[in-house]
Amino acid sequence: MNLSERQLRQKAMDIRISVIESLAAAGSGHLGGSLGLADIFTTLYFNELNHESQNPKWANRDRLVLSIGHVAPVFYASLAHAGYFSTAELKTLRKLGSRLQGHPATDHQTPGLETSAGSLGQGLSIALGMALAAKHDHAKHRVFSIHGDGELQEGSIWEAAMAAGYYKLDNMVAIVDRNRLQIDGPTEKVMKIEPLAEKLEAFNWQVHECNGNSIHEILSCFTKVRATTGKPQVIIANTRMGAGVAEVENDYTWHGKPPGQQDVDNFIAQVKQSYHENS
């Protein structure tokens, strides 16, 4: 499925609205990162990933490992809008017995999930194993993983990064949500991770950077990724936490806070206005 840039922006708007509505219905969950990653997820599911929503276990599908499981709301919203299940099911987020728990869990049989997520720092190792297996089997699919920048403070990330570079896994694409914020504040005050690009390059990764809230720049970045071989790829996506809602943007206190019912109409109106201003 390849949508136009305008169609992708509209789809990102729809996904943001679903995130706001589902979190408000749940009364708990993570809003900031989910809004910030909506453009990345939209581009993946409606332009970049090779996948079939009506056949989630298709052998030739690209794999997506969500390492930062707390942004499950935007993951679920993207899956629903891509046809894996009804958008109405999004209102069951975090409810007892729902397939859409606060962190993705494969034991709930949620269509489109490749792995469970929760403890940070594990996703790159999982993606590494999948990419190695694909190389061993001469499979053509790619393995994508999505990480928070605060997550890069975990040592296991760098062990996996070293192995991926050593094995030249060019079927592996990591995406870093570089919003420069984590639950306790700015990443560079909690535990500095810069110079990030130079570190990844030293581990033999091909580094790409883009504005992670610009569909145009994201598309351009993926074009460069597809044209590069011989190395694992990483996209440093410079995003704004809470993108689309002024009260949430770049405010780390919204890391794990849902919108209240009184916020829903205002937040959705802002998301719609942002779409129309940029279309």
Report pLDDT for 270. Answer: 98
**DSSP for residue 260:** P
For residues 79-86, average pLDDT: 98
- 117 touches 104 (CB < 8 A): yes
Q: CA 269 to CA 203: how far, in whole Å?
A: 44
Quick one: pLDDT band at residue 277, thresholds 50, 70, 90?
confident
Looking at the chain, the whole-number percentage of residues with pLDDT higher than 90 is: 97
pLDDT digits (tens, 9 = 90+) for 115-167: 999 899 999 999 999 999 999 999 999 999 999 999 999 999 999 999 999 99
Taking each helix axis from N to C terminus, what angle separates 5-26 and 72-81, rounded to the nearest 10 degrees?
120
| pLDDT value of residue 138 | 98
Out of 3.20.20.110, 3.40.50.970, 3.30.930.10, 2.30.180.10, select the CATH number for domain 5-277: 3.40.50.970
Number of neighbours of residue 49 by Cβ within 10 angstroms: 19
Give the residue-averaged pLDDT of 228-253: 97
Mean pLDDT of the chain: 97
Q: Specify the pLDDT at position 118.
A: 86
Above 90 in pLDDT, residue 279?
A: no
For 84-125, how does the pLDDT look when each residue is reduced to its tens digit (9 = 90+)? 999 999 999 999 999 999 999 999 999 999 999 989 999 999
Task: Please report the pLDDT score of residue 86 as a whole number.
Answer: 98
Q: What is the per-residue pLDDT for 115?
A: 96
Question: pLDDT band for position 232 (50/70/90)?
Answer: very high
Radius of gyration over every alpha carbon of the chain, rounded to an integer in angstroms: 17
Looking at residue 278, what is its pLDDT? 82
**Tens-place pLDDT, residues 19-38:** 999 999 999 999 999 999 99
Burial environment of residue 147 by CB neighbours within 10 A (0 to 12, 13 to 18, 19 or more)? buried
| CA atoms of 18 and 170, how far apart (whole Å) | 34
* Mean pLDDT along residues 257-278: 95
Strand, coil or helix: 206: strand
- The pLDDT of residue 158 is 98
